[in-house]
Structure 1
Amino acid sequence: MEQTLYFILLLIALCSVSECVQRQYHFINVTKNWTEAQRYCRENYTDLATVDNMNDMNEVKSVSDNPHDYVWIGLQRTGVDKWQWSSGDPALYLNWGPEQPNGGDEECAVMRNGQWHDLSCSNRQTFICNNTNTGLVFVNQQKNWRDAQSYCRQNHIDLVSVRNLNENQQLQKFINDSHISDDVWIGLFRVSWQWSDESDSLFRDWRSGEPNNAGGNENCAAIIHTPQREWNDVLCNNQYPFVCHEEAQTNLYNGQEQTSSGSSNVLNKLILIKEKMTWSEALRYCRQNHVDLVSVHSEEIQREVMNVVKWPSTEAVWLGLRHSCTVGLWFWVSGQTVCYQNWAPGNGTGEDCEHTVRSGAVQSGGDQRWISRPETDRLNFICSRNEE
């Protein structure tokens, strides 16, 4: 019965009138300063390139294969002090020490005697991670903030967030109980860079040690010409080629329309179910108790998913994403094709159809990308539900 259902949904997706138009990138092999490049892109496309995730970054690399030059993207230093948690949470609760933060190039935060202090992100400190199973984890290794963030995301969930007074007190108790005497990195950093199109994407692909604001006036971002093609901060008056992006509307099969910013007109409320179920059990639960397993067909809904996934009991959370070995593609159980994509590297392609059926989940920590998992894994899951 379930196989028949999936096949019908797949046919709906394949026969839909969807136009899966992704953000399109255009490499302009003409040298201009950053402001001139921005003006050119706005006149001829949408804007200088915005990059939301590693999939976007790989696409930018593929269209701008110009290893002898730096290449402008649409990221510029604003000078606005907006503090953000590494997990993506806004910094609503603040617990700064006296005369903190004191600005300058000190864009990352440590915990010191129960209060927060800003330091240069290049400082090397020990740090504290969050872990789904064990809670707080002290890492007695000296790393700069970005390397500490990478370590936590690879081995646990993320650098610790402190969202209220209770969590701050719990963190300080953990530090005292662990006999930690030095400053420790927490997941708080200052967002001083803004995309030209004012996107709120927090994705960054800086080269190690960057941005360093050498000389105090490196306020624009460019892809560097090393094999990894990561980012440097550079002088905005430098002359480089650049990448523009072009937004296109995506019309869904059911008549809803997404605007050029990727926002859907109607967005159901979402709910995280902290029960451990297989993908099929989660699908059945959502349809019996709510509406469906969530379909993530836009960046806006992905942001809602990221807001819902708070402290789950599993390292990943089921989505309504299913792989068909019959035709070799992914589809949403709602019948929509997978237009918007947010796959983690190495996922979403080359599925093994001989041993197990694969379904899609979102990572609980880090940048919360999608991953492919055997449908028999037992995970938490997200249901969509009608607005009350």
Structure 2
Amino acid sequence: MADIGYLVLLFYLIGGFVAVYSNCSNGWIRNDDSCYLFVDLHRKTWLQAKSDCEARNSHLVVIESKAENDFVKNQLAKLHPGTEDQFWTAGNDLVTENNWVWGNTSDIFEVSFWHPGEPNQSAGEEDCLTFYTRYRFDWNDEHCNKPMPYICEVEDYIDSGSIIG
């Protein structure tokens, strides 16, 4: 038994840290270091969707790269072909008009994939970001109080910490 303890200690000292990648929960879809849940049966306003994702220990999806944007678009195309749906993301300009940020961090967008002519404030007060099927899942600004499907994201990387020695 002492040999096993020695091997575990050696593993920690050589590795420096331990990183664990767990599987996504049932119904969630993995992409890189995140898991995504596409919620379409229970349409919610942006604020309700944000709260529901948080209750699931996640957040509305935050797009950090073209690869991630393409992944979400491809999943939406598979799951919702031919619909007119829009899907909430964490993006919004609720605090300052035309200052688009991610709702869970308040970080300004590092990348954007707006449909040409968007954001446009059509009919005023369009302050929340969606993927819009009509625009081939490009980004659209929309009224935050409309009940819509939404996408939750959770980073699936668990870092157990570093061993200093």
TM-score interval, normalised by the smaller of the two chains:
0.5 to 0.7
- The superposition leaves residues 309-333 of structure 1 with CA deviations (integer Å, 9 ceiling, x where unpaired) of 1227752111111113535311111
Higher relative contact order (CA 8 A, sep 6+): 2
- Listed as ranges, the matches of 1:158-177 within 5 Å are none
Q: CA deviation at 1:383?
A: 0.3
- Listed as ranges, the matches of 1:270-281 within 5 Å are 270-274=36-40, 275-281=42-48
Q: CA deviation at 1:301?
A: 1.0
Is the partner of 1:324 in helix, strand or coil? coil
- Listed as ranges, the matches of 1:190-201 within 5 Å are none
Work out whether residues 87 and 151 of structure 2, in 8 Å CA contact, stay in contact via their aligned partners in 1: yes
| 1:306 is aligned to 2:38 | no
Give the direction of change, closer, same or farther, for the CA distance of 1:357–1:344 in structure 2 (3 Å limit): closer
Q: CA deviation at 1:288?
A: 0.6
Tell me what 2:33 maps to.
267
| 1:347 is aligned to 2:118 | yes
Tell me what 1:289 maps to.
56
- Give the number of aligned pairs: 121
Q: Which amino acid aligns with 2:118?
A: N
RMSD: 2.6
- 2-structure distance, mates of 1:314, 1:383: 20
Tell me what 2:140 maps to.
371
Give the direction of change, closer, same or farther, for the CA distance of 1:285–1:367 in structure 2 (3 Å limit): same
TM-score by length of 1: 0.29
Q: Give the structure with higher Rg (CA).
A: 1
Is the partner of 1:287 in helix, strand or coil? helix
Tell me what 1:383 maps to.
152
Give the direction of change, closer, same or farther, for the CA distance of 1:357–1:267 in structure 2 (3 Å limit): same
Is the partner of 2:111 in helix, strand or coil? coil
Tell me what 2:22 maps to.
none
Q: What 5-or-longer segments of structure 2 have no aligned partner?
A: 1-31, 158-165
Q: Which amino acid aligns with 2:93?
A: H
Q: What 5-or-longer segments of structure 1 have no aligned partner?
A: 1-265
